[in-house]
Amino acid sequence: MAARNNTKSSKGEPNGAPAQHHSGIAGALEDLEVSDDLHPLLQFIVDHIKPLAAGLVVFLLVIAGYGIWEYTQGQAMTKASNELGTILAQPAGEERIAALEQFLKSAPGELKEGVRLELASELADAGQYERAAEAWQTVGKDQGQTFQVISSIGRAQSLMQDDKSKEALQVLEDALAMAGESFYVPLNRMIANAAEESGNYARAVDALKKIAASDESRPQMYLKDKIARLEAQMNKES
């Protein structure tokens, strides 16, 4: 019988034994590692494959996490919108006001401004003018000037309904100082009313004259009559 050949190959494997190869990436890397002619960049990848793979996994996890976060946010917004719709479907009154106040505590940022507006209006409609004025003060505080002017108008209306005309007048004066041209007439009209109710007839006359001068096509007869009556009141008290 011929003697079994136990000599080894140059790579240390017994002759006749099947060579062991890994499949997939591991096998490819094993084959690459035995080559002395690798491109430097490829050699770097081979030498650092584990940290590179770990970094890729982290990157993919971040992307997946962001996608989950976006989905969760969308679900939360849908749920909050449905809850707000249910509240607004309730009859006006204390229960709806209480529900809006509770909802506002956890409402998504995108809904908060609208909820504040609704709450302020609900309080005013319910005759709770002091609370309405406080609610209006929170509306638009983080928004632009236009929103702040609208908030001031709502607050001033609530103050006047609460017989606080002097305070309302100051709120309106501050609003006029930052308002654009589109608010010029309505603010001056409100200023005239607040000034008259607080006994500041001179300021009321000034506001009405500004309205008359802003557009001569306006009904001048009413304005002139109102100005004349206020001036007569001023002369009477002087």
Q: What is the pLDDT of residues 23-47, one digit of tens each?
A: 444 455 455 454 555 555 555 555 5
3-state secondary structure of 8: strand
Question: Has residue 89 got a pLDDT over 70?
Answer: yes
> Three-class SS of residue 41?
helix
Distance of CA 82 to the CA centre of its chain: 18
Gap between the Cα atoms of 91 and 237, Å rounded: 48
**Distance of alpha carbon 143 from the chain centroid:** 9
For the segment 128-186, what is each residue's pLDDT rounded down to a tens digit?
A: 999 999 999 888 777 778 888 999 999 999 999 999 999 999 999 999 999 988 899 99
Task: Select the more confidently predicted residue: 198 or 146.
Answer: 198
Cα separation values, 19 from 8, 14, 75, 174, Å: 12, 9, 56, 89
- Segment 55-62 mean pLDDT: 58
> What pLDDT score was predicted for residue 176?
95
Higher pLDDT, residue 53 or 219: 219
Predicted local distance difference test score (pLDDT) of residue 197:
95
The whole-number average pLDDT for the span 186-200 is 95
Q: pTM score > 0.75 for this model?
A: no
Crossing angle of helices 184-197 and 145-161, rounded to 10°: 30
* Per-residue pLDDT, 9: 44
Q: Which residues contact 138 (CB under 8 A, 6 or more apart)?
A: 116
Q: What pLDDT was estimated at residue 184?
A: 93
CA distance 166 to 203: 12
At 221-230, the pLDDT tens digits run 888 899 999 9
